[in-house]
Amino acid sequence: MTDFSSNIVLVIAVTSIATYLSRMLGVLFSEKINENSKIFRLFDCIAYSTLAALISKVVVFPAGDLGEISNLTRLIVVFVCVVVFFIAKRNLVYPTVLSAILLTVLIKYI
């Protein structure tokens, strides 16, 4: 194998081990976790805030093809999808699918 191929295999192996090790530990310790504990709520808040920051970064400072779309179009899609998220009782599937469809339609016709 070349150096590039062996590096890819190594990266895939390391990331796979990290992913499946964390999942295995989650399964092993899931019965011992109290979902109402303060530490669990802290991690929950950290996870949601990280996700909100990433989504905000993509909307406000997009890279690639998304950067060519106007701010107004991106904000319309985000606003509509947040509304759909709450209407759909916090189901993520509907706004995710709708965001792709709505963005495509708005780009094409506006």
Q: Is residue 32 part of a domain?
A: no
pLDDT of residue 66: 86
Q: Is residue 43 part of a domain?
A: no
% of the chain with per-residue pLDDT over 90? 38
DSSP for 2-71 reads: -HHHHHHHHHHHHHHHHHHHHHHHHHHHGGG--TTSHHHHHHHHHHHHHHHHHHHHHHHS--GGGGGS-H
**Residue-range definition of the domain harbouring residue 81:** 69-110
Place of tokens 């509304």: 83
| C-beta of residue 84 within 8 angstroms of C-beta of residue 78 | no
Average pLDDT over residues 48-72: 88
Q: How many domains does the chain have?
A: 1
Q: Is residue 54 part of a domain?
A: no
The confidence band for 4, taking pLDDT boundaries of 50, 70 and 90, is low
Average pLDDT over residues 80-101: 93
Q: Is residue 102 part of a domain?
A: yes
Q: Is residue 88 part of a domain?
A: yes
Q: What is the mean pLDDT of the chain?
A: 88
The confidence band for 3, taking pLDDT boundaries of 50, 70 and 90, is low
Q: Is residue 90 part of a domain?
A: yes
Q: Is residue 82 part of a domain?
A: yes
Average pLDDT over residues 82-91: 93
